[in-house]
Amino acid sequence: MLKVLLDMVKNAKHRKLDLNNNSTTVMKKLLIANRGEIACRIIDTAREMGIRTVAVYSEADRTSLHVDLADEAVFIGASPVRESYLDIEKIINAAKETGADAIHPGYGFLSENAEFCRSCADNQILFVGPSADAISSMGSKSAAKKIMEKAGVPLVPGYHNEDQSPATLRKHSDETGYPVLLKASAGGGGKGMRIVWNADEFDESLDSAKREAMASFGDDKMLVEKYLTQPRHVEIQIFCDKQGDGVYLFERDCSVQRRHQKVIEESPAPGMTHELRSAMGKAALQAAEAINYEGAGTVEFLLDKDGSFYFMEMNTRLQVEHPVTEMVTNQDLVEWQLKVACGEPLPLAQNQLKLSGHAFEARIYAEDPENDFLPASGIISYLKTPAISRHVRVDTGVRQGDEVSVYYDPMIAKLIVWDESREKALMRLSSALREFQVAGMKTNTIFLYSLANNQTFRDGDFDTSFIAKHQKELFRKAELDTSIHLPLIALYLILHQEKSASQSAASSLEPNSPWNYSNAWRLNETLAQEFKLEIQQKEYTAEVEQRKRREQLIYKISFNGVVAEAFGELDGELLRANLNGHQHRVYVSGDENSYSLFVDDLHVDFKVSQPDLGLDEEAALGHGLAAPMNGTVVALLVGPGEKVKKDDALLVMEAMKMEHTIRAPCDGKVLEFFYQAKDLIDGGSEILSFEEN
């Protein structure tokens, strides 16, 4: 069997192999040379196909989800990628050690590394991807262009030859006509690219593009392209098998980009015609054929306003955004990859592939959109993802409590939605984004929500400069609506406090727990509390008065004279709140004193300064020495019948990790304590009876 594998890897190109369905038995164990969501996603399909999986992990990923999901996991070194995920030898050794007969490289890392691909073959391990030669030929943008030019695939006008003298590059830029784009031939991730608007800017732009390219790729070779001012980025998913057949699985529009990197992708591309799609599909397959391609690949094009399209580059691997294609074709592209790698023919022919409905993918990043999308890191203190259905898919590699580390890409998840039309899919996207809640670091969810709801985007009227052009509408802060958000926060705090106390009560085995006492409440008797909040660097004070109406606790919440009447219930992080008769469904997460309120599309972080629980102590005491909040009795400080002076301490209770002293309201004596030390007290309950002198 191994020999068959070897033969396939080394010289199977365009050779008719007749492995048919036996081939799935060829791959018994698959090592995934990647991490995060893509590792998890590949593990899922492999498992469904009955293939055992091996994960590899670095120091930072010891407890990561992909490690848990795989059947086996091998530690491959320190957190920096060079010492783990990019270390070819360690990964090959991990495969040999575990007896993995194949390696899936995912995307990024070693996925487009021809040396790694060769190394797999040398070690008799099947590489899930194209041949090393195909990878090499597309590795350099200029070499790729030459191949495509020869194959008759349309190119953006420009220059992509060897002579790299500044004079030559300038001459070709002048000839091409400004604006031009200087691009690193070895480029990726939008790095080493500079737009040159006119000849005067040329020298400076060339220097900085070269510097960035050298720093990022160790290679400062440049190419010149006509800079299209309003293009769309439309790419074609292709698939080729070892038998020499190829199909295209339609297009993805990835024009919504920040810093030349994709943010939202969709399929089909808005406004795409059948003719244009076939023309682009044909050109993409021509590109694949030119390099005897095998497996999954993506041919990226720039689509100009007039419908002309130009080859940009070919990615010889699975793309981040492959799920949108899966949703509109109802196919599992990883399954296709594994089958094709094993020598099986393509699962479907071109005429069997159907494009159905519309799908979007939004990339949820730990980053700060308001600060030039600066990557963020930290512990995900709270993570709530929308409910999964046939319309909503979430691909992620993290769980609540995991860390988004500084070592890797800060993508937290991919949210993918599908519906019958673009409009319906957008509605799904928008509502799923509202339910995508992450706390612990800055994320782009509000930004994505603004994008999904932007009218111009909804109209499908966008190009690659969309984000830059629509800055004002897209970048908005979580605007605090004090009349709604503040009462919701206060209501949450008070319900949370009560819930904590009732949980302690429930776990207490005290037979005489006063928890069930209801006689402590007196109609029209009020209790007050104060919460000091810090929101967006501003301080707010909430006063909450509680009273009982029939069996329902009602809260009067005041902020700066604005009063709301509220009640509600807390179910985990879900707060069902009734504010002035209006029912709200919001989420609050947090611990200690830092919280996040998720309301509609907004995410409001707030802090609670030390709550002054005994604020209205005198009022409380004046009403018969009632407990100001739910809590536990710590100590009784005087005996029954003992005479006391005003303000003498009578009893200490504890709530929200703070002690609170109940004092004598005036000279007099305690007739009776209704509770003993360690008893739980319901907020509002009478603690003791007191007789005034």
**Where in the sequence numbering do the catalytic residues fall?**
317
Is residue 190 a contact residue for ligand ADP (CB under 6 A)?
Answer: yes
CB of 240 to ligand ADP, least distance (A): 21
Q: Which is nearer to ligand ADP, 7 or 197 (CB)?
A: 197
Q: Which is nearer to ligand ADP, 319 or 529 (CB)?
A: 319
CB of 202 to ligand ADP, least distance (A): 16
Residue 500 buriedness (CB in 10 A; 0-12 / 13-18 / 19+):
middle
Can you tell me the distance from the alpha carbon of 368 to that of 372, in angstroms, rounded to the nearest whole number? Answer: 7
Among 76, 134, 181, 501, binds ligand ADP (CB under 6 A): 181
| Of 223, 230, 227, 275, the residue nearest 251 (C-alpha) | 275
DSSP state, 637? -
Is residue 108 a contact residue for ligand ADP (CB under 6 A)?
Answer: no
Can you tell me the distance from the alpha carbon of 80 to that of 390, in angstroms, rounded to the nearest whole number? Answer: 37
Phi, psi at residue 223, to the nearest 5°? -125, 160
Among 77, 129, 231, 684, binds ligand ADP (CB under 6 A): 231
Following DSSP, what letter does each residue of 261-304 receive, concatenated?
EEEEEEESPTT--HHHHHHHHHHHHHHHHHTT--EEEEEEEEE-
Is residue 444 a contact residue for ligand ADP (CB under 6 A)?
Answer: no
CB of 189 to ligand ADP, least distance (A): 5
Residue 516 CB neighbours (<10 A): 7
Residue 549 buriedness (CB in 10 A; 0-12 / 13-18 / 19+):
exposed
- Output the CA–CA distances (angstroms, integers) from residue 88 to 56, 117, 338, 409, 610, in the order listed: 12, 10, 21, 20, 53
Q: Which is nearer to ligand ADP, 188 or 624 (CB)?
A: 188
| Of 546, 569, 542, the residue nearest 487 (C-alpha) | 542
Which residues, listed in sequence order, are joined to residue 235 by a DSSP beta bridge? 252, 300
Among 228, 490, 533, 626, binds ligand ADP (CB under 6 A): 228
Structure tokens at 345: 């023919």
Among 152, 189, 271, 401, binds ligand ADP (CB under 6 A): 189
Among 117, 156, 240, 451, binds ligand ADP (CB under 6 A): 156
Q: Which of residues 628-657 bind ligand ADP (CB under 6 A)?
A: none
CB of 191 to ligand ADP, least distance (A): 6
Phi, psi at residue 518, to the nearest 5°? -115, -5
The site for ligand ADP, by CB under 6 A, has a size of 21
Can you tell me the distance from the alpha carbon of 253 to that of 234, in angstroms, rounded to the nearest whole number? Answer: 5
| Of 428, 232, 255, the residue nearest 327 (C-alpha) | 428
Q: Which of residues 236-265 bind ligand ADP (CB under 6 A)?
A: 257, 260
Q: Which is nearer to ligand ADP, 260 or 607 (CB)?
A: 260
Angle between helices 322-329 and 333-341 (to 10 degrees): 100
Cα angle 662, 511, 670 (rounded to 5 degrees) comes to 30
Among 116, 227, 239, 540, binds ligand ADP (CB under 6 A): 227
Among 319, 464, 630, 632, binds ligand ADP (CB under 6 A): 464
Among 27, 285, 312, 383, binds ligand ADP (CB under 6 A): 312
Torsion of CA 68, 71, 77, 82, to 10 degrees: -90
Among 80, 188, 347, 375, binds ligand ADP (CB under 6 A): 188
CB of 244 to ligand ADP, least distance (A): 28
Q: Which is nearer to ligand ADP, 23 or 237 (CB)?
A: 237
Point out which span in 181-189, 418-426, 448-456, 602-610 binds ligand ADP (CB under 6 A): 181-189
CB of 592 to ligand ADP, least distance (A): 42
Torsion of CA 429, 434, 439, 442, to 10 degrees: 60
Point out which span in 202-210, 224-232, 532-540, 651-659 binds ligand ADP (CB under 6 A): 224-232
CB of 58 to ligand ADP, least distance (A): 25
Contacts 24+ apart (CB under 8 A), 656-660: 656/497, 656/500, 656/611, 656/613, 656/629, 656/631, 658/610, 658/611, 658/613, 659/634, 660/613, 660/614, 660/628, 660/629, 660/631
Structure tokens at 127: 């590489």
CA torsion through residues 554, 559, 560, 565, sign: negative
Q: Which is nearer to ligand ADP, 62 or 211 (CB)?
A: 211
HSE-up of residue 174 (Cα within 13 Å, Cβ side): 9
Is residue 329 a contact residue for ligand ADP (CB under 6 A)?
Answer: no
Q: Which is nearer to ligand ADP, 250 or 418 (CB)?
A: 250
CB of 144 to ligand ADP, least distance (A): 10
Structure tokens at 381: 């203190």
Is residue 313 a contact residue for ligand ADP (CB under 6 A)?
Answer: yes
Point out which span in 179-187, 284-292, 419-427, 597-605 binds ligand ADP (CB under 6 A): 179-187
| Of 599, 573, 381, the residue nearest 488 (C-alpha) | 599
Q: Which is nearer to ligand ADP, 37 or 463 (CB)?
A: 463
CB of 170 to ligand ADP, least distance (A): 17
The DSSP bridge pattern shows strands 309-315 and 367-368 to be unpaired
CB of 229 to ligand ADP, least distance (A): 7
Q: Which is nearer to ligand ADP, 156 or 240 (CB)?
A: 156
Q: Which is nearer to ligand ADP, 187 or 514 (CB)?
A: 187
Among 302, 392, 489, 629, binds ligand ADP (CB under 6 A): 302
Return the SS3 of 109: coil
Among 187, 268, 323, 514, binds ligand ADP (CB under 6 A): 187
Among 37, 87, 220, 225, binds ligand ADP (CB under 6 A): 225
Q: Which residues bind ligand ADP (CB under 6 A)?
A: 156, 181, 183, 187-191, 225-228, 231, 233, 257, 260, 300, 302, 312-313, 464
